[in-house]
Amino acid sequence: GIQNVASDYSKVVEPTLAPIHLEDLPGYTRSVYERDYALITPESQVYSPISGWSNSLCAFLITPAIGSHFSMYFAKMTGNSSAAQPSTKGVERFIFVIDGHIELVYEEQRHVIQSDGFAYLPPDTTYEIRSKEPSVLLVYERRYTNEGIVKPELVLGMTHQQPLLEAPGEVFALRKLLPTTSAYDFNVHVMDFQPGEYLNVKEVHYNQHGLLLLEGRGIYRLGKDWYPVQAGDVIWMAPYVPQWYAALGRTRSRYILYKDVNRDPL
Ligand code: UGY
Ligand code: MN
């Protein structure tokens, strides 16, 4: 059955227009595209059908065309919909359900994934993803980089059931959605900040990020620039871009973040 969870991602689907209707202003966007980062706000997100997906519209937000080694996109399944498998070999996929619910058939097992739930689908596996009702997904994909004999396996979970982890020196609440073993070449972090909380480390690192602000608002520092951001905003961070966040407003900030990990950067 459908569970009641504490989180509310509705702002991703119905973004707040603040100041009132500013985003309706012709030609106005908060989006920016720089060499080592991009801010892609809802009024700039472009949806189109993609091959293999039925009754679905996708908005590619981050792709290798921007310099990333992964793709990040929204998929809006409008009802009686099905998803395609990745079109190339060796591609792994992570799906986070933002709104609605989907049905996953994997090795003849049927799973229902609710809003706040997620699935990791290993490369070169066959599965089906369907959505009878409208649903919205966030998808990350990359070419799997193997380093050993341990193969990644199917992972299913609900964000609120993931344990809270220690983030030494930091105040935000951290959850990791994937196992931290070397079978996985990336992880997906969910980070919560109360209003007024901010990153202690003014991070600069080799890892890449694809971020979606799920709840709340605040200020993101990217390189030398500072941006007001709110739920529904997407950020691409290239390796080494200075990055820092402070949560503002009256409600919790929550973001979901792709991060490549567990591989020798050399
Ligand atoms: O783990 C991270 O790199 C994360 N703290 N980065 C970020 O929030 N921009
Ligand atoms: Mn980081």
Q: Which of 177, 191, 207, 222 to mutate to test the pocket of ligand 1 (most atoms within 8 A of CB)?
A: 191
CB of 243 shorter than 6 A to ligand 1: yes
CB neighbours of residue 8 within 10 Å: 15
Does residue 11's CB lie within 6 angstroms of at least one atom of ligand 1? no
What whole-number distance in Å separates Cα of residue 223 and Cα of residue 139?
26
Phi-psi bin for 171: left (phi > 0), alpha (psi -120 to 50), beta?
alpha
Cβ of 259 below 6 Å from ligand 1: yes
Which of 212, 257, 261, 262 for a ligand 1 pocket mutation test, highest count of atoms within 8 Å of Cβ?
257
Give me the pLDDT at residue 15, please: 65
Which atom of ligand 1 is nearest the CA belonging to 207? 3
Is the CB of 8 inside a 6 Å radius of any atom of ligand 1?
Answer: no
Average pLDDT for 167-183: 96
In order of 131, 153, 239, 253, the CA distances from 114 in angstroms are 11, 20, 32, 21
Q: In this predicted structure, what is the pLDDT of residue 11?
A: 74
Of the chain, the percentage scoring pLDDT greater than 70 comes to: 94
Report how far ligand 2's centroid is from the alpha carbon of 213 (Å).
14
Closest CA to ligand 1's atom 2: 259
Tokens of 102: 């989907």
Cα–Cα distances (Å) from 1 to 7, 101, 112, in that order, read: 17, 11, 9
Q: Are 151 and 183 in contact (CB under 8 A)?
A: yes
pLDDT at residue 24 is higher than 80? no
* pLDDT tens digits, one per residue of 203-227: 999 999 999 999 999 999 999 999 9
Q: What is the pTM of this model?
A: 0.92
Instruction: Specify the pLDDT at position 179.
Output: 98
CA 186/CA 142 separation, integer angstroms: 9
Ligand 1 centroid to 79 CA: how many Å?
35
Q: Is the ipTM reported for this complex over the cut 0.90? A: yes
Measured distance CA(120)–CA(127) in Å, rounded: 12
